[in-house]
Amino acid sequence: MSLKHGLLGLLNYGSMTGYELSKTFNDSLGFFWQGKTSQIYRELTDMEKLGWLKSERVVQHDKPNKKLYTITEDGRNELSNWLIDGNSSINDALYVRSSFLMRVFFAGEVSSSQATSLIREFQKQCKLALSAFDTTSSIIDEYSKIVADKNKSKYWRIVAMFGEAYYKASLDWADKSLLLLEDEE
């Protein structure tokens, strides 16, 4: 149950609407968790029923009315329990679900040119993903101004480091694999 806890974590920084949450969620946690707006709205109503949040309707005249969510004491407790209690397993931490790797696994069934083009596409996307990290540091700087707690942005940087290392390792692998496959021809 991590979408709920991700939302709790964000609401702990300050009250937000579903719409804002949805954007912030995918902007900041998007590397390791994503959620569609439809799901986020569903989870929010669910969380309000659980007493983790409360909402108030804010009437606007220039824009559609909105619903502002605020974390409750129960919500804060739930968040810190989830953070501490390590019912995180290998799965939680290390499990990569990748239909791309599944395709590679079975790539012996198609021509080797089709196999290499699959990996080349992956290689391209790794480079793209890596280039996005050029601006990450300054984005974190901006966010951390809002939250104004250096302790928090410290961990954001550490998570971003993981992302960068991951894409770098993926790119290295793609390069190496393509060399291996070309050598054998």
Name the residues that contact DNA, by CB under 7 A.
Answer: 1-4, 17-20, 23, 34-39, 41-42, 44-45, 60, 62-67, 97
Q: Scanning residues 101 to 130, which ones bind a second copy (CB under 8 A)?
A: 101-110, 114-115, 118, 121-122, 125-126, 128-129
Q: Tell me how far apart the alpha carbons of residues 101 and 99 are, in angstroms, rounded to a whole number.
A: 5
9 binds a second copy, rule: CB under 8 A: yes
41 binds a second copy, rule: CB under 8 A: no
- Which of 146, 180, 183, 185 lies at the binding interface for a second copy (CB under 8 A)? 180
Which x/- pattern, by CB under 8 A, does the window 128-147 give for a second copy? Answer: xx------------------
Residue with tokens 């250096």: 150
* Half-sphere exposure of residue 95: CA atoms within 13 angstroms, side-chain side: 7
Helix and strand numbers (H, E) in the chain are 9, 3
User: How many CB atoms sit inside 10 A of residue 17's CB?
Assistant: 16
